[in-house]
Amino acid sequence: KPQLVASNNRFCRFLEEYCPVVTETYYPTIWCWEGRVQTLLRPFITSRPQVQYRNELIKTADGGQISLDWFDNNDSLYYPDASTRPTVLLLPGLTGTSKESYILHMIHQSETLGYRCVVFNNRGIAGEDLLTPRTYCAANTEDLEAVVHHVHSLHPSAPFMAAGVSMGGMLLLNYLGKTGRDTPLMAAAIFSAGWNVFESVESLEKPLNWLLFNYYLTTCLQSSISRHRQILEKLFDMDLVMKARTIREFDKRFTSVMFGYPTIDDYYEDASPCRKLKSVGIPVLCLNSVDDVFSPGHAIPVETAKQNANVALVLTSCGGHIGFLEGIWPRKCTYMDRVFKQFVQAMFEHGNKIFSM
């Protein structure tokens, strides 16, 4: 059974009644139970539901642009009125876009419930041009603030939630820690977030983890900026950036410099959501596996979570990073998908009961 951590008994009772998956025994796929195996195999095993997006480019205050992919769900039977159709904002991981299988599954789950979704693609990675020499990071929430405001302004009467995965979850937590209750979001779901960046990079620099994950992710980051080389060369030594062999080296030479941090430690401190968790002002459900090499179990802020009545942690012993595969042939639905579906439905349909139970 997963461990449910929450200081608020009413929040616990709410989850037990309307999101019972968090109290059910999670049976990981028996032939890939180890965390690294789950992490590596999920993208290849899980299906990719067909989703038709409507793309929107919005301008930012600094002259940049952000690509949003909308799934309007105009055929929704439960919510035919678009003005009040519940909306879920989805934030993919470090180099992820709206095409990631875990995002497609979240949209598929939302479609069956009648909800609308919009995917926030970080700058420069979804095929759009960089108009300014700026990309994104886990600590800077300005682009997310702009997107939340934009989506809410289009549908001010629609219930509004967000879900973030991996770095998208870190960014969402940092935004919620900054805004407190001053957000149009009614709740959020966080999956496989890295809670303490120092611990995450240290784990990823262990020899086997570097070989399996770190080097590949570093090359993905380099690839995501290489096509914008012309505009980025004005501010960065791109040859040096392209020689990075770890995420830490990439962040030291590129990310921390771009966002004006004196040192990489200053950036990692600011990017770590564990330092902002006390300030979260809306209900948040966070799912992590303690065998996730991207977010080691010992770095999950269990004691801090117990100090905020708005926060609930769901911790599984297996599942890896965005894995949570279950069943003999885990092609269609993961434990993470079920947590997402039940929690967003619980909040949209029964959220007013959360602190009255």
CA angle 185, 189, 191 (to 5 degrees): 145
Output the CA torsion sign for 108, 111, 115, 117.
Answer: positive
Tell me the one-letter amino acid at 98: S
On whether the CB atoms of residues 193 and 284 are closer than 8 A, the answer is: no
Secondary structure element (H or E) that encloses residue 348, with its range = helix 335-350
- Give the position of tokens 């049976």: 27
On whether the CB atoms of residues 122 and 96 are closer than 8 A, the answer is: no
User: Which of 101, 166, 203, 224 is flagged as catalytic?
Assistant: 166
Catalytic residue flag (residue 292) = yes
On whether the CB atoms of residues 15 and 311 are closer than 8 A, the answer is: no
Helix (H, G, I), strand (E, B) or coil at 59: strand
Can you tell me the distance from the alpha carbon of 25 to that of 267, in angstroms, rounded to the nearest whole number?
38
Q: Which residues pair with residue 147 across a beta bridge?
A: none
Output the CA torsion sign for 76, 82, 88, 94.
Answer: positive
**Quick one: tokens of 31?**
């032939």
User: Which of 143, 292, 295, 337 is flagged as catalytic?
Assistant: 292
Phi-psi region of 254 (alpha: psi -120 to 50; beta: other; left: phi over 0): alpha
Can you tell me the distance from the alpha carbon of 22 to that of 313, in angstroms, rounded to the nearest whole number?
10
User: Which of 203, 289, 321, 337 is flagged as catalytic?
Assistant: 321
| CA count, 13 A, side-chain hemisphere, 148 | 22
Can you tell me the distance from the alpha carbon of 275 to that of 185, in angstroms, rounded to the nearest whole number?
21
Catalytic residue flag (residue 166) = yes
Give the C-alpha distances (Å, rounded to integers) separating 174 from 39, 143, 164, 237: 24, 12, 11, 29
Residues designated catalytic? 166, 292, 321
